[in-house]
């Protein structure tokens, strides 16, 4: 069955494109979601992304300056303790 009418594709071809980088390294050519810069598969869908005020995104503080300094102090104390134990073993009774 053949179509006898001309398809109006001008709106589809002039719509903004997603442009996200695909796995193959090319840009995505899917149309962007209305009001967004990306298509539905690359983050333009409703409710995509983390919720506002995401509590799961809080950091644990292990790499703060205080945390690093605390670990350095503990390592230094452990090193001094090992040296003291070695000295105690070498001292005759």
Cα distances from 48 to residues 3, 40, 74, in angstroms, run 39, 9, 43
Higher per-residue confidence, 78 vs 53 = 78
pLDDT at position 26, please? 94
pLDDT tens per residue, range 18-74: 999 999 999 999 999 888 899 999 988 887 776 777 676 667 778 888 989 999 999
Cα distances from 70 to residues 5, 22, 50, 60, 83, in angstroms, run 75, 43, 32, 14, 20
Ramachandran bin of 14, using left for φ above 0, alpha for ψ from -120 to 50, beta for the remaining angles: alpha
Q: Which tokens hold the place of 67?
A: 């945390």
Question: Region 14-19: what's the mean pLDDT?
Answer: 90
3-state secondary structure of 26: coil
């Amino acid at each position: 069955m053949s179509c006898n009418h001309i398809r109006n594709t001008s709106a589809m071809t002039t719509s903004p494109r997603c442009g996200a980088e695909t796995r193959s390294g090319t840009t995505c050519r899917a149309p962007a979601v209305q009001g967004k810069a990306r298509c539905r598969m690359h983050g333009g869908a409703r409710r995509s992304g983390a919720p506002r005020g995401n509590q799961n995104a809080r950091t644990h503080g292990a790499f703060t300056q205080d945390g690093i300094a605390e670990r350095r102090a503990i390592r230094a104390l452990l090193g001094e303790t090992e040296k003291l134990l070695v000295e105690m073993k070498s001292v005759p009774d």
